[in-house]
Amino acid sequence: MSDNKYKRVLLKISGEALAGNNKLGINDEVLKEISSNIKAVADLGVQVAIVVGGGNFWRGRSSEKMDRVTADHMGMLATLMNSLALSDALEQQGAVTRVLSAIEVRQMAEPYIRKRAVRHLEKGRIVIFACGTGNPYFSTDTGAALRATEIGADIFLKATMVDGVYDKDPNIYPDAVKYDRISHDEVLRLNLRVMDSTAAALCRDNHTKILVFSMKDPANIVKIAKGETLGTIVE
């Protein structure tokens, strides 16, 4: 435990990450690889909480003709499906998990109660938070920022397909410059799109540290837990 950089982390994974090259749905091999690395972090003695998006099943903001609240509710259900899949994959590898949902689905998940979530973490269980904040108009990034703050996570690990925060999109601009460290204020002022502005402001106002890193190699989660310098720190 003394070798670990963090005691408690909140990991945010996009739904698309679970789809792999399929783009939609869940890729079993990718799910297995991600879950094995998450379990490896938990085996180090790190308390792990997770928020997973739902974009591999549904993106509410792209449904222009649908009522936004209805679309967002469907998005919450997509995150629940991913949370259950991730929970199952982790338990197949021997981990003990709990899915806590912001909306009531008692037959499938426990209701989200902060003290219960913290107690699960203290007992070494991997906690997966489903259904965002339980409210429409809030992204899963905002839900992750909220949960990271509520549970007192040492850091909010934001897994992306890029290896950190850049001054512009490195997939478009070859001369994009990567930041090793940057402030919350700069992220908001420069509109760097690390996450939506609501989530970024919530982290800033509550002094929640963020580490943006690449999920292309799921083993990066273990490297970070052990203290290796990767990605970009936002604080």
Task: State yes or no: pLDDT of 54 exceeds 90.
Answer: yes
pLDDT on residue 161 = 87
pLDDT on residue 61 = 63
Confidence grade of residue 122 (pLDDT, cut at 50, 70, 90):
very high
pLDDT on residue 139 = 92
- CA–CA distance, 19 with 27 (Å, rounded to integer): 5
Task: State yes or no: pLDDT of 2 exceeds 60.
Answer: no
Task: State yes or no: pLDDT of 87 exceeds 50.
Answer: yes
- CA–CA distance, 101 with 15 (Å, rounded to integer): 16
Given a contact cutoff of 8 angstroms between Cβ atoms, the answer to whether 203 and 158 are in contact is no
Instruction: Decide if domain 8-234 falls under CATH 3.40.1160.10.
Output: yes
Domain boundaries defined on the chain: 8-234
pLDDT on residue 58 = 87
Sign for the CA dihedral angle at 116, 118, 123, 128 comes to: positive
Task: State yes or no: pLDDT of 63 exceeds 70.
Answer: no
Q: Which of 56, 45, 79, 232 is nearest to 157 (CA)?
A: 232
Cα distances from 16 to residues 28, 57, 171, 209, 215, in angstroms, run 13, 8, 17, 24, 11
Please provide the average confidence, as pLDDT, over all residues in the chain: 92
Task: State yes or no: pLDDT of 65 exceeds 90.
Answer: no
Confidence grade of residue 46 (pLDDT, cut at 50, 70, 90):
very high
The percent helix, strand, coil of the chain (3-state, each to 5) is 40, 20, 40
Confidence grade of residue 111 (pLDDT, cut at 50, 70, 90):
very high
Instruction: Work out the burial of residue 219: count CB atoms within 10 Å of its CB; fewer than 13 is exposed, 13-18 middle, 19 or more buried.
Output: exposed
Q: What is the pLDDT of residues 180-234, one digit of tens each?
A: 999 999 999 998 888 889 999 999 999 999 999 999 999 999 999 998 889 999 9
pLDDT on residue 60 = 64
Give the orientation angle of helix 140-150 with respect to helix 197-205, to 10 degrees.
10
Task: State yes or no: pLDDT of 1 exceeds 70.
Answer: no
